[in-house]
Copies of this chain bind each other. A is one copy, B any other.
Amino acid sequence: MLPKVKTPTRRIEKYKGIIPSHLFKEIKKIAKDLKGLKVVHVNAAPRGGGVAEIIQSLVPLMKGVGLKAAWHNNPPGEKFFTLTKQIHNAFQGKEFELPFSARKLYIRHMEKTARLMQDMKPDLWVVHDPQPVGIAAFLPNFHPSVWRVHVDSSHPNREAWEFIHPFMLMYDKIVFTSKEFIGPSLPKRKVAVFSPAIDPLTSKNKPLSLNVAKNIVETLGVDPDKPLVIQVGRFDPWKDPLGAVEAYQIAKKKIPDLQLAFLGLFLARDDPEGAKIFKKVQRKVKHDPDIFLFSDPGQLGSLKVDLFVNAFQVVTSVVLHKSVREGFGLGVTEAMWKEKAVIGGKVGGIKLQIKDGKNGFLVSSPKEAAKRIVQLIKNPKLAEELGKEAKETVREKFLTPRLLRDHLKLYQKLLC
């Protein structure tokens, strides 16, 4: 059996008062048809990154509505994960070459993974992202099966796409986050589209009083009473941290006491590229005492990461998400849920969430971002209005129960 992640069971009623009430009825009706269904989710790892967060909330809810849902992972492999990270980046369009040795590494790891799956006989497989997609080649009767891809693969690198594409086609359904992300040469009947979601009941998203939040932020050296911009996310070229610094630097000319905090926790050992970008950011910020780079969980002392992020999202005046490619942007959703007006890069999944000028702002350059930072800080009323609208957007579209419904509907289509 593949390595299993333990999951609790959670009743859908816990979301009463948070999600639109029609969702309860809808979910219960579909769940009736699927009672006892054995669903196995497979992804790369039990934590780290949005996909693990999504599954962590989704599986307990599936169990709560009567499915026998379980969550398993690829067996780990350092070289393998380095390769699949490259494939992930190549899906987003990065230059890439896939020589014989890399193909062999991937396919051998799929063989190893599939070997561990021979004794697993669920009613339905749900496989996430490129890391485990190739298992399908090694397993007989791998049906029905869903491949859920969380990457913006609208303009993938050809070599990476051609390598993974045949494996995708072995699945009965392929789920993208956005219509725009659907990669080349896929039969329409196989494709489904729905977006991810955040869980309002996790410690990262639960209501946090402003006072508690201010205390946390202050402990970490940031002045909660001065204007603050935050960007949450890895130090990664796609997140454009350099563009975020530039936007801050332009805005600071108009708002001299502006602060910038990067919540970009990563473990350097696992992410050599992240470490490189981080150094570039360090060079760019020089010794500006108003810029705070959080790059290592060690900096937080005993504070939990989730609470740390939550506190900054509650305190901050403005949230920046200056990505140039974005599979979805769970960080955007989280901030919107906290009634923040997010200034987001006009790309990928962010465009699904932010309607420019209605519940936040979409920008295409550091200069534009700077203009919006100044506008929101000088006009708290506008920030408040956009923030309220942002929260309602998330309530309607981007909370886990809606994602649960979309999954269940898809399963129903495949099975009933």
Q: Which of A115, A166, A170 has the most CB of B within 10 A?
A: A166
Chain B residues whose CB sits within 8 angstroms of the CB of A169 once the complex forms: 165-166, 169, 185
Which residues of chain A from 60 to 117 have a CB within 8 Å of any chain B CB?
97-100, 103-104, 107-108, 111, 114-115
Task: Determine if A97 and B140 form an interchain contact, defined as CB atoms under 8 angstroms apart.
Answer: yes
Q: Interface size class for chain A? A: 20 to 34
Task: Determine if A107 and B187 form an interchain contact, defined as CB atoms under 8 angstroms apart.
Answer: no
CB distance from A303 to the nearest CB of B (A): 46
Q: Does A123 belong to the interface (CB within 8 Å)? A: no
CB distance from A152 to the nearest CB of B (A): 23
Q: 0/1 per residue, A128-144, Cβ < 8 Å to B?
A: 00000000011111000
Measured CA separation A35–B108 after assembly (Å)? 40
Q: Does A163 belong to the interface (CB within 8 Å)? A: yes
Contacts from A to B (Cβ < 8 Å): 97-100, 103-104, 107-108, 111, 114-115, 118, 137-141, 159, 162-163, 165-167, 169-170, 185, 187
Sample (27) of A-B pairs whose CB atoms are under 8 Å apart: A97-B140, A98-B140, A100-B114, A100-B118, A100-B138, A100-B139, A103-B114, A103-B139, A103-B140, A104-B111, A104-B115, A104-B138, A107-B107, A107-B137, A107-B138, A108-B111, A137-B163, A137-B166, A140-B159, A141-B159, A162-B170, A165-B169, A166-B169, A166-B170, A169-B169, A169-B185, A185-B187
